[in-house]
């Protein structure tokens, strides 16, 4: 047996520009895109489903490749959620020769038919049973047998005394699964609505013969693992227990679906990640394991994970292997500020934070074993294959499936709980570690036994002050409107360096304009009870009576507007920044609109640091 140490999930550093407590992601500037991306493709969301593509794309030297969700046959509530997020209006667009991605994105962002355009980022691969190699699984039970510290584990055996089987389906979004592996085969999900090999879409979900999942990387029905990473993840979640073979997973019996979007080299695209997440939603998988990351913020992936949250599902994600503080240097998808994400750091057999692991006191939830983790791999010839069918790997990729496995076991034992209650139960039952204090939200390492047995009561508002969620947090520092704003047809607003309250830029309206408007995208406040809208604005003393800068809100996606504030020339403070804030209650969505009215090309006004802080 060869002992190999891999730092799986070599993640791309992304500079995180928003408020660290909010962890609010923003898309990158089209002039300087973060991370690697497909060189001849972009993702485009149009505002109207009836957009005339031929005219739009020929004018911009682009060609339509496919609608992102062409194969999917959504129905019912899920279809409504997808349409609410507008993911049915996202397209994969091919560039003509000699056209580059940043230039194409810049052009598209300026087109009134387009809501956003973004790169198609490339991401990369985070009762004692009788299984003979159980002693190598220090992460499940550590007596110091590998030179570590006794008790530096998730303490599985006493938990297994009460339960070791789960009825939850876990979607493994990865390089696929070796579904023929003797220690995994009976725990691999089989689609109950599909008949193998008949060439028909029996369950009418848009995918033919999706027996064990789907291969989004190669657009076919066979999600077999040709890299090894996904199979290693699967073994930690659910290698068959007590079968006298190899190892055991956190769950002795469970069902794991292979949602392959990373190729044989461990790389995949944002577009295929979105498809995998939405497939899991469509098929009702309550948990997805996501031991991958890289690239920059994309609205399409954010919306897909948010749809999973609205469906009541958990998205467990690797924090990343760059040794960075993700409070200030984001790692997607773990860094998206969504309540259903559990971001996982890696610990070693001495309960230290792994040297390679990302961390973040406001952005990483907990630690879990992720160094020298022994698990299943394919026996063939692939990057992480081994002739024995097992090997040691390290990374937050390896820590993440410990958490997914615990979530499956805990949720199965108490299936009346919501996804967020399961997350809370896991975080409130960690073992407090000095190595994770201030480095993770929980300050602790995963403990299966406590999560299953420890009594848990959700915190009440009188006990815990709610942490604000910034549904919008924009200082106009990233790029022209950041995909968060659009202008009306007057197009009198610009990103300006003339003055700012935060950073170098602000949004400025100038020249002759009659209620020239800068309008935010629709801001989702579903599940929040209240929100605080705040911003700074500035008018020059050249504005006359009757000239102003005004601010409106809409709670019906722009069908109607209510003015909330106005800064008037010759009446209100001029040549100084003024702060405005107000509260809104009992709404599910909001849009903001700033309007300027001026009669001279020498007059201007500015807006900066716009926030919607939801509770």
For residues 137 and 68, give the distance between their C-alpha atoms in angstroms, rounded to a whole number: 40
Write the CB contacts of 160 (distance below 8 Å, at least 6 apart in sequence).
127, 129, 241, 252
From 34, 131, 174, 327, active-site residue = 174
Q: Which residue has the tokens 């190699």?
A: 133
Q: How far apart are CA 538 and CA 542, in angstroms?
A: 12
- Marked catalytic residue, from 125, 126, 397, 404: 397
Q: Residue 446: CB partners within 8 Å, gap ≥ 6?
A: 154, 366, 367, 368, 369, 402, 403, 406, 426, 430
Q: How far apart are CA 611 and CA 16, in angstroms?
A: 16
Query: Which of 565, 551, 570, 472 has the alpha carbon at shortest distance from 509?
Result: 551
Bridge partners of 345, per DSSP, are: 367
Helix or strand run (H / E) with residue 124: strand 114-124
Catalytic residue among 164, 229, 402, 449: 229
Asked if 214 and 257 touch (Cβ cutoff 8 Å), the reply is no
Find out whether 537 and 501 touch, Cβ atoms under 8 Å: no
Residue 329 designated active-site: no
Q: 425: closest CA among 400, 386, 451, 443?
A: 451
How far apart CA 517 and CA 567 sit, in angstroms, is 15
Using CA atoms, how far residue 81 sits from 124, 271, 615, in Å, is 28, 18, 22
254 CB-near residues (< 8 Å, 6+ apart): 165, 166, 168, 170, 187, 237, 238, 405, 408, 409
* Phi then psi dihedrals of residue 105, to 5 deg: -65, -45
Q: In angstroms, how far is the first alpha carbon of the chain from the final one?
A: 53
Does residue 402 carry a catalytic annotation?
A: no
**Backbone torsions φ then ψ of 543, nearest 5 degrees:** -70, 140
State yes or no: is 174 an active-site residue: yes
Q: Which residues are catalytic?
A: 174, 229, 397
């Amino acid at each position: 047996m060869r002992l190999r140490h891999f730092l799986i999930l070599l993640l791309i550093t992304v500079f995180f520009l928003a408020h660290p407590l909010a962890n609010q992601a923003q898309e990158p500037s089209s002039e300087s895109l973060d991370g690697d991306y497909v060189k001849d493709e972009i993702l485009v969301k149009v505002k109207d489903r009836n957009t005339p593509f031929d005219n739009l794309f020929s004018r911009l030297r682009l060609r339509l490749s496919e609608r992102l969700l062409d194969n999917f046959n959504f129905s019912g509530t899920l279809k409504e959620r997808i349409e609410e997020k507008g993911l049915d209006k996202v397209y994969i667009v091919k560039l003509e020769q000699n056209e580059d991605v940043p230039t194409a994105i810049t052009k598209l962002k300026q087109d009134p038919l387009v809501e956003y355009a973004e790169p198609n980022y490339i991401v990369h691969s985070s009762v004692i049973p009788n299984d003979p190699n159980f002693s190598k699984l220090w992460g499940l039970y550590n007596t110091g047998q590998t030179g570590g510290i006794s008790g530096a584990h998730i303490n599985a055996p006493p938990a297994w005394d009460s339960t070791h089987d789960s009825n939850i389906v876990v979607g493994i979004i990865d390089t696929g699964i070796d579904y023929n592996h003797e220690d995994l085969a009976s725990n691999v999900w089989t689609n109950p609505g599909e008949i193998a090999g008949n060439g028909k879409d029996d369950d009418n979900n848009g995918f033919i013969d999706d027996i064990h999942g789907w291969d989004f990387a190669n657009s076919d029905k066979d999600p077999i693992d040709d890299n090894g990473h996904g199979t290693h993840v699967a073994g930690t979640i659910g290698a068959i227990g007590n079968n006298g073979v190899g190892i055991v997973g956190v769950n002795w019996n469970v069902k794991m679906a292979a949602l392959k979007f990373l190729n044989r080299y461990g790389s995949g695209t944002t577009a295929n990640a979105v498809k995998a997440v939405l497939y899991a939603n469509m098929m009702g998988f309550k948990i997805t394991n996501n031991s991958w990351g890289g690239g920059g913020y994309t609205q399409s992936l954010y919306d897909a994970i948010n749809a999973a949250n609205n469906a009541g599902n958990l998205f467990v994600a690797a924090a990343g292997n760059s040794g960075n503080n993700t409070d200030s240097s984001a790692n997607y998808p773990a860094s998206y500020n969504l309540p259903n994400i559990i971001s996982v750091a890696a610990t070693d057999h001495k309960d230290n934070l792994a040297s390679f692991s990302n961390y973040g006191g406001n952005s990483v939830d907990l630690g879990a074993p992720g160094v020298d983790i022994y698990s299943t791999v394919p026996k063939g010839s692939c990057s992480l294959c081994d002739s024995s069918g097992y090997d040691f790997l390290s990374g937050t990729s390896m820590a993440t499936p410990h958490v997914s496995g615990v979530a499956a076991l805990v949720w199965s034992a108490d299936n009346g709980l919501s996804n967020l209650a399961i997350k809370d139960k896991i975080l409130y039952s960690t073992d407090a570690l000095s190595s994770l204090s201030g480095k993770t939200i929980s300050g602790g390492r995963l403990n299966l036994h406590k999560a299953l047995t420890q009594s848990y009561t959700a915190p009440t508002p009188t006990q815990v002050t709610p942490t604000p969620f910034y549904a919008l947090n924009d200082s106009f520092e990233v790029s022209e409107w950041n995909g968060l704003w659009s202008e009306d047809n007057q197009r009198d607003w610009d990103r300006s360096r003339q003055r700012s309250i935060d950073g170098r830029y602000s949004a400025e309206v100038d020249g002759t304009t009659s209620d020239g408007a800068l309008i935010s995208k629709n801001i989702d406040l579903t599940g929040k009870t209240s929100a605080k809208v705040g911003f700074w604005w500035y008018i020059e003393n050249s504005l006359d009576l009757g000239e102003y800068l005004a601010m409106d809100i809409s709670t019906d996606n722009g069908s109607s507007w209510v003015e909330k504030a106005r800064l008037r020339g010759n009446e209100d403070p001029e040549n100084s920044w003024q702060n405005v804030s107000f509260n809104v209650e009992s709404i599910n969505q909001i849009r903001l609109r700033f309007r300027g009215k001026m009669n001279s090309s020498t007059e201007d006004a500015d807006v900066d640091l716009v926030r919607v802080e939801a509770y």
